[in-house]
Chains A and B, each alone.
Chain A
Amino acid sequence: AQTVTQSQPEMSVQEAETVTLSCTYDTSESDYYLFWYKQPPSRQMILVIRQEAYKQQNATENRFSVNFQKAAKSFSLKISDSQLGDAAMYFCAYRSDSWKSSGDKLTFGTGTRLAVRP
């Protein structure tokens, strides 16, 4: 079974600075997707960024980028030029590309709470 580990329960960053959130995962599969989700205090979870495992190039979405290290099974999220609105819980998630192994299941980590200091 796949597992996702976020070892940082809480992080803090100064506004305009850069912060990196860590995520590691365990899988025996070669084809899968990785995601970072953001859950602000209002509780509506939104997708921040997605990475397909077959792509070597790291995904980027504006100020958000990932460092995907497939061999190390690491998938960290970097937030540049942090803004107050970035304060939220961030969840790393894994999804198999194989229906047989896990159906339609997203496996989540326990989350990292990010605080942004003004």
Chain B
Amino acid sequence: ETGVTQTPRHLVMGMTNKKSLKCEQHLGHNAMYWYKQSAKKPLELMFVYSLEERVENNSVPSRFSPECPNSSHLFLHLHTLQPEDSALYLCASSLRTGPAYEQYFGPGTRLTVT
């Protein structure tokens, strides 16, 4: 296990539900990321936070709503999702944003939308 944890590890939700994914990093990093990993597709960057400020929103639908209350915690609030949103959602953190800083990934949340 790295210093990035994600809960829950598995989540099944209906299209009308509201749920939240949680990510926590214990590495003292200042940047956090949400990625979506779908089967047979490249990982897609969804959001980037630096020092609790969103610095990138990669054209993600509004049914995904991120929240970063402090530099150690990152949430992804989900509502009225579609079946095609079923995927593995990975959180990552790095000391700072920028290509020189390694991203450390969490184990992911496997989301199934029914």
In the assembled complex, which residues on chain B have CB atoms less than 8 Å from the CB atom of A47?
102-103
Provided the pairs A32-B99, A44-B107, A47-B102 are in contact, do residues A105 and B90 lie with their beta carbons within 8 angstroms? no
Interface SS, B side: loop
In the bound complex, do residue A104 and residue B42 qualify as a contact, i.e. CB atoms below 8 Å apart? no
Kindly count the residue-residue contacts between A and B in the assembled complex, taking CB atoms under 8 Å apart.
56
| B-contact bits for A1-22, CB 8 A (1 contact / 0 none) | 0001000000000000000000
Interface size on A, residues (CB 8 A): 26
Interface, chain B (partner A; CB < 8 A): 1-2, 31, 33, 40-43, 45, 48, 50, 55-56, 58, 88, 90, 92, 97-100, 102-103, 105-108
Check if A97 is an interface residue, CB within 8 A of chain B.
yes
Nearest chain B CB to A24 CB, angstrom units: 14
B-contact 0/1 string along A29-55, CB 8 Å cutoff:
000110001000011111100100000
Q: In the complex the two chains form, what is the Cα distance from A31 to B26 in whole Å?
A: 31
Residues of A within 8 A of B106 (CB): 44
Q: List 13 A-B contacts (CB under 8 A).
A: A43-B107, A44-B2, A45-B90, A47-B103, A95-B99, A104-B98, A105-B56, A106-B43, A106-B103, A107-B42, A108-B43, A110-B41, A111-B42
